[in-house]
Amino acid sequence: MTPTIGVLALQGDVREHLAALGAVGARGVPVRRRSELDAVDGLVLPGGESTTIDKLLRIFELAGPLRDAIREGLPVYGSCAGMILLADRIAGGTADQRTLGGMDVLVRRNAFGRQVDSFEADLEMRGVADGTTRPVRTAFIRAPWIEEAGPDVEVLARIPDRWADGTMVGDAAGKIVAARTGRLLSTAFHPEITGDTRVHGMFVRMVEESNREGVR
Ligand SMILES: NC(=O)CC[C@H](N)C(=O)O
């Protein structure tokens, strides 16, 4: 059966995620209320501004239910600001900023610094297997990175030492930019705006697997 996957629609690039989910055969629906959250098989936390989404989650009274849903095994994919929201710990957050948590990682906000605020890159990523070794086309927009990851976190992608044109990467080299823990998936980058839908495909498979397992 076609899985129904919500996109948290409080702020951020919701429409692009809905389109990417549709392109890989899922039914994407916006989620703004508790009743909508209860009706989905999985959820995408889009990129945007993590401090704003955090505030809106509390105003819309979704923070608690979403935290519970994550603990109960709801599959969630967080991109960029979404990666920050899924992290147990953040560096560079504002004083009152909270996260939903669930992933045993320390995430640094706006980690890539000014010079490379935004860029696109081709990255090797584990788990997007489509029968080829084609790298994933990614876009980083004031992106975070994962600075520390606990033992249960599977690292799916890191920034390489050199970019494709041969230039050295610098501080970002080796930093984790895609990871998975159980039913939680996160990427520092936005695959939904490059036309490469394989990360969404991977998430849809995670949701289908969780539907088959039938927990929750
Ligand atoms: N593209 C993004 O989602 C940027 C994330 C943003 N810099 C934040 O800290 O929330």
Q: Give residue-wise pLDDT tens across range 63-92.
A: 999 999 999 999 999 999 999 999 999 999
Q: Whose CA is nearest to atom 3 of ligand 1?
A: 47
Q: Which atom of ligand 1 is nearest to the CA of 79?
A: 3
Q: Which atom of ligand 1 is nearest to the CA of 141?
A: 1
From the CB of residue 164, how many other CB atoms can be counted at a distance below 10 Å?
A: 9
Q: How many distinct structural domains can be found in the chain?
A: 1
pLDDT in tens, 117-149: 789 999 999 999 776 778 999 999 999 999 999
Q: What CATH number is given to the structural domain containing 103?
A: 3.40.50.880
Query: pTM of the prediction?
Result: 0.96
ipTM value: 0.96
Between the CA of residue 131 and those of 102, 135, 152, 204, what are the distances in Å? 31, 12, 27, 17
How many angstroms separate the CA atoms of 192 and 17, rounded? 6
pLDDT band at 167 (very low <50, low <70, confident <90, very high): confident
Residue 15 in this model has a pLDDT that exceeds 80: yes
Residues that are catalytic: 80, 190, 192
50 has binding-site annotation: yes
Which residues lie across from 105 on neighbouring strands? 149
Range of the domain at 82: 4-213
| 100 close to ligand 1 (CB < 6 Angstrom) | no
pLDDT in tens, 86-121: 999 999 999 999 999 999 999 999 998 765 678 999
Computed over every residue of the chain, the mean pLDDT equals 94
How remote is the CA of residue 213 from the centroid of ligand 1, in Å?
33
Predicted local confidence at residue 216, as pLDDT: 57
The count of C-alpha atoms lying within 13 angstroms of the C-alpha of 143, restricted to the half-sphere facing its C-beta, is 29
